[in-house]
Amino acid sequence: MMLKKFVDPLPVMETIQPSSYGRNTLYFEVSMKEVMQKLHSDLPPTKIWGYNGRFPGPTFRVQRNQTLQVLWKNELPEEHFLPIDSTVHGANKDNPEVRTVVHLHGGATPDTSDGYPDAWFTKDFKEVGPFFAVKVYTYPNQQPATTLWYHDHAVGITRLNIYAGLAGAYIIHDKKESSLSLPQVPYDIPLVIMDRSFNKDGSLYYPSQPDSPNTYVTPSIRTNFFGDTILNNGMVWPYLEVQPRRYRFRIINASNSRTYQLSLSNDNPFIQIGSDQGLLLAPVNVRKILLAPAERADVILDFSTMSGQVITIQNDAPAPFPTGDLPDPDTTGVLMQFRVSKQLLSTDTSKIPSTLNAVARLEERNAYQTRNLLLNMSNDQYKREIHLLNNQLWSDPITEMPHLWSIEIWNFINVTEESHPIHLHLVRFQILDRQRFDKEIYQTEGSVVPIGPRIKPEANEQGWKDTVCANPWEMTRIIVPFGPYTGLYVWHCHILEHEDYEMMRPYVVIK
Ligand code: C2O
Ligand code: CU
Ligand code: CU
């Protein structure tokens, strides 16, 4: 079934309002609910799980240093509507089927509120996981202005819970950023990108079997999932009518496995002003933006000279990335459409200043140590492919224990054929460089022999990050100051099918 493109307007998620105001905190209650939601005018309503019954959930907009308290409530049914693989760690039949825990991605959050995968809870907190800590989460928001997102993180079923709809945008504003006169609400719009597949009756389709027939497990986890339909803010291939002026879009790749390489159909560049953890040093004109799962790009689109034009956002990233099939230009190669059809309401007073943010580069020589961390593959007992971090399982003893405020270099050595977007909770980091190494020598002798120079990241990857794309047969080095809290966190690949199946490890920041 092929859905018509550009027939529904782009929804803009509503901004959530506090349920009460404390002394120095704002208090929110958010309920996860199963609802039927229209995702395209020609589709019957689709069963989804949404925060406050919306997919994506409502957008948080907070000021830096404003503490938030959130009570996340699970009001979901007791049965999952997507296929759970009970051979996956944490998803075994002794555990309740529907478990949730909420993580603020990119947030510098105390560990008791960080949404540790084992800190799950069921409806009305009837059952809780082995690491359950607190009911009401605290978000101190002491970090600079940026675009974060919140999503489910329950061990063994994160891919299914997020696929069902449990994700939303979380924006931190601060005075410095406000003083820059960038486009503001309603011209500041989060764009949550996801791929999905549908059954004829409009329900979400998620396969219960992998493509390769080498398993007798049903349902079985897959190594990747790619939908054949692209949704923006929960609508299939929407359009947005815009005025001839500047807009700010905060693009969030909330897809399970799909990496996008975005471009505009009129060949104009995006003016990228920010990445995962805040504003870049200066705006960068980029014709193509690569966005792996969980990465964000903060961009300005200037429609001021485009009255009457129709522009689409396109995608030409292979799936799996980077060696898989190219997207179909008619389906997964398209995200959404802009129509510059509205009258200019008032003069556009927004600006794009030539400098945005002081991003001091971290120096390699200030690092206390380097950890070499393999991104590798193996086979499980059912002969399925399994992705690992440093050849270890989620349940193996903790091996990464950085000291509070120590600076470390983590060197990801990817010996698989797929890029892995590696994410560390709690911290922000910078990308030092990427360097290729000899695949044949590695496969025959097991040693890592670099070929070619260490390549510095492009300007739009030189800001603060929390997720980094580690490409096949490359070493990707990041430099990380560990803080601002001690405690138990995780690092993992953000391809959800990998994360759920062992490509995730706990780590501890110690005193
Ligand atoms: Cu986006 Cu561990 O998370
Ligand atoms: Cu995270
Ligand atoms: Cu991965």
pLDDT tier for residue 504 given thresholds of 50, 70 and 90: very high
What H or E segment, with its residue span, contains residue 175? helix 175-178
Q: Which residues of 251-285 are buried (b: 16+ CB within 10 A; e: fewer)?
A: bbbbbbbbbbbbbbeeebbbbbbbbbbbbbeebbe
Q: Which of the ligands is closest to the CA of residue 149?
A: 1
Ligand 1 binding pocket includes 498 (Cβ within 6 Å): no
SS3 242: coil
> Which candidate, 274, 248, 478, places its Cα nearest to that of 357?
274
Phi-psi region of 464 (alpha: psi -120 to 50; beta: other; left: phi over 0): beta
What H or E segment, with its residue span, contains residue 395? none
Query: What's the pLDDT score for residue 215?
Result: 74
Mean of pLDDT values over 314-334: 98
User: For 413-500, where are the alpha helices, taking DSSP H only?
Assistant: 439-445, 496-499
Ligand 1 binding pocket includes 492 (Cβ within 6 Å): yes
CB 30 within 8 A of CB 150: no
In the chain, where does the domain assigned CATH 2.60.40.420 lie? 20-177, 188-339, 364-509
Give the model confidence (pLDDT) of 113-136 as tens digits. 999 999 999 999 999 999 999 999
Ligand 2 center to 348 CA (angstroms): 35
Q: Which of the ligands is closest to the CA of residue 293?
A: 1
**Does the pLDDT value for residue 212 go beyond 80?**
no
Q: Is 156 exposed, middle or buried (0-12, 13-18, 19+ CB in 10 A)?
A: buried
> Which candidate, 358, 366, 357, places its Cα nearest to that of 479?
366
Q: Which of the ligands is closest to the CA of residue 490?
A: 1
The number of angstroms, rounded, from the C-alpha of 387 to the middle of its chain's C-alpha atoms is: 19
Residue with tokens 């759970």, as numbered in its chain = 84
Ligand 1 center to 119 CA (angstroms): 14
Ligand 2 center to 108 CA (angstroms): 9
**Does the pLDDT value for residue 501 go beyond 70?**
yes
Taking the CB of residue 320, how many other CB atoms lie within 10 A of it?
Answer: 20
Query: What's the pLDDT score for residue 1?
Result: 63
Angle at 129 between CA 118 and CA 115, to 5 degrees: 45
| Measured distance CA(158)–CA(152) in Å, rounded | 6
Q: Which fold has domain 364-509?
A: Immunoglobulin-like (2.60.40)
Ligand 2 center to 257 CA (angstroms): 16
Nearest residue by C-alpha to atom 1 in ligand 1: 105
Mean of pLDDT values over 266-273: 98
| Measured distance CA(221)–CA(203) in Å, rounded | 20
Mean of pLDDT values over 428-432: 98
Query: What's the pLDDT score for residue 503?
Result: 98
| Measured distance CA(257)–CA(195) in Å, rounded | 9
Q: Is 164 exposed, middle or buried (0-12, 13-18, 19+ CB in 10 A)?
A: buried
**Does the pLDDT value for residue 283 go beyond 90?**
yes
> Which candidate, 425, 455, 424, places its Cα nearest to that of 437?
455
Strand order in the sheet with 146-152: 60-63, 167-173, 146-152, 102-105
Neighbours of ion ligand 2 (CB under 5 A): 105, 425
What H or E segment, with its residue span, contains residue 163? helix 158-164
Query: What's the pLDDT score for residue 176?
Result: 97
From first CA to last CA, the distance across the chain in angstroms is 56
Ligand 3 center to 377 CA (angstroms): 10
CB 422 within 8 A of CB 468: yes
Mean of pLDDT values over 66-89: 98
SS3 484: coil
Ligand 3 center to 151 CA (angstroms): 18
Query: What's the pLDDT score for residue 2?
Result: 85
Ligand 1 center to 120 CA (angstroms): 14
Neighbours of ion ligand 3 (CB under 5 A): 420, 493, 495, 498
Nearest residue by C-alpha to atom 3 in ligand 1: 105
Query: What's the pLDDT score for residue 44?
Result: 97
Query: What's the pLDDT score for residue 344?
Result: 98
> Which candidate, 300, 362, 312, 376, places its Cα nearest to that of 340?
312
Query: What's the pLDDT score for residue 210?
Result: 87
Ligand 1 binding pocket includes 153 (Cβ within 6 Å): yes
Query: What's the pLDDT score for residue 471?
Result: 98
Mean of pLDDT values over 383-412: 97
| Measured distance CA(20)–CA(22) in Å, rounded | 7
> Which candidate, 138, 157, 29, places its Cα nearest to that of 100?
157
Ligand 1 binding pocket includes 159 (Cβ within 6 Å): no
CB 301 within 8 A of CB 309: no
Q: Which atom of ligand 1 is least distant from the CA of 491?
A: 2
| Measured distance CA(292)–CA(20) in Å, rounded | 37
Q: Which of the ligands is closest to the CA of residue 167?
A: 1
SS3 461: helix
Ligand 1 center to 111 CA (angstroms): 13
Mean of pLDDT values over 41-47: 98
Q: Which of the ligands is closest to the CA of residue 416?
A: 3
Q: Which of the ligands is closest to the CA of residue 421?
A: 3
DSSP 495: S
Ligand 3 center to 261 CA (angstroms): 18
Ligand 3 center to 175 CA (angstroms): 37
| Measured distance CA(474)–CA(415) in Å, rounded | 8
Q: Which CATH class is domain 20-177?
A: mainly beta
Query: What's the pLDDT score for residue 407?
Result: 98
Ligand 1 binding pocket includes 105 (Cβ within 6 Å): yes
Q: Which atom of ligand 1 is least distant from the CA of 153?
A: 2
Which residues of 38-145 form beta strands (DSSP E)? 46-51, 60-63, 67-74, 102-105, 136-139
Ligand 1 binding pocket includes 252 (Cβ within 6 Å): no
| Measured distance CA(158)–CA(137) in Å, rounded | 19
For the domain spanning 188-339, the CATH number is: 2.60.40.420
Mean of pLDDT values over 88-94: 96
Tokens of 167: 């994700």
pLDDT tier for residue 22 given thresholds of 50, 70 and 90: confident
> Which candidate, 210, 233, 254, places its Cα nearest to that of 496?
254
Give the model confidence (pLDDT) of 235-258 as tens digits. 999 999 999 999 999 999 999 999
Q: Which of 101-105, 118-122, 211-215 is predicted least confidently?
A: 211-215
Mean of pLDDT values over 60-84: 98
On average, the pLDDT of the chain sits at 97
Phi, psi for residue 204 in degrees, rounded to 5: -70, 135
Q: Which atom of ligand 1 is least distant from the CA of 115?
A: 2
Ligand 1 center to 499 CA (angstroms): 9
Ligand 1 binding pocket includes 384 (Cβ within 6 Å): no
Q: Which atom of ligand 1 is least distant from the CA of 117?
A: 2
Ligand 1 binding pocket includes 296 (Cβ within 6 Å): no
Mean of pLDDT values over 99-121: 98
